[in-house]
Amino acid sequence: MRAVPTNRYLIFFSIASVGCLADLATKNWIFAKLGMPDPHMRQVAWIWEGVFGWQTSLNEGALFGIGQGQVHWFALLSCAALVALLVWLFVAGAARDLLLTVALGCVTAGILGNLYDRFGLPGLEWNYATNLHAVGEPVHAVRDWILVMIGPWHWPNFNIADSLLVCGAVLLGWHAFWMPGSKSQPQESGASETH
């Protein structure tokens, strides 16, 4: 098996670290500017009135708020996904493919940014009670802040980590379905190494 080129490590870890840092920095800045979300008074800083703006929210679930309250389960799945993709890239050698390296760098940045929040590392406390938590309990939820309105419909708030996860998934889909030879590449490389 051919070794993974050194520049793939640089590309992957640069995308993962810069993406994660951008996500955490913007979350910190927006939450410092707008404060914790208040379910009774939804403060919005509009960039384009009625279409696009900033609004803090906390998501204790996954994409689109699915699985609210299962934050520890999602944290465990995120850790397992990180290990699996690192093994696939750098042990199994998938990082020889530049597009896979970039795609999984984006996915890793997104996982790390949201995992930071799920572990409760920002040190936030809940300022309102629900059936999942009481006032003053530590927050183990993803900080979201990008607000998009599609006509009258409020798209679920998201963050840069979510955007990176989606970009990575789109690139993976592109690679799987439209890249020439992507389906036969592992067999061909394995066959050529046996000669």
| Residue 37 within any structural domain of the chain | yes
| Residue 34 within any structural domain of the chain | yes
In terms of residue numbers, what domain contains 158? 6-194
pLDDT given for residue 42 in this prediction: 76
pLDDT tens per residue across span 158-187: 999 999 999 999 999 999 888 766 543 444
Q: Is the pLDDT of residue 111 over 90?
A: yes
Beta carbons of 95 and 12 less than 8 angstroms apart = yes
pLDDT tens per residue across span 9-40: 999 999 999 999 999 999 999 999 999 998 87
| Residue 23 within any structural domain of the chain | yes
pTM of the model: 0.86
The rounded distance, in Å, linking the Cα atoms of 137 and 131 is 12
**Catalytic sites, residue numbers:** 144, 162
| Residue 186 within any structural domain of the chain | yes
How far apart, in Å, are the Cα atoms of 134 and each of 25, 52, 137?
27, 31, 6
The rounded distance, in Å, linking the Cα atoms of 97 and 105 is 12
| Residue 1 within any structural domain of the chain | no
Beta carbons of 44 and 145 less than 8 angstroms apart = no
| Residue 133 within any structural domain of the chain | yes
Q: How many domains does the chain have?
A: 1
The rounded distance, in Å, linking the Cα atoms of 123 and 27 is 13
Structure-token pair, residue 17: 């670290």
| Residue 136 within any structural domain of the chain | yes
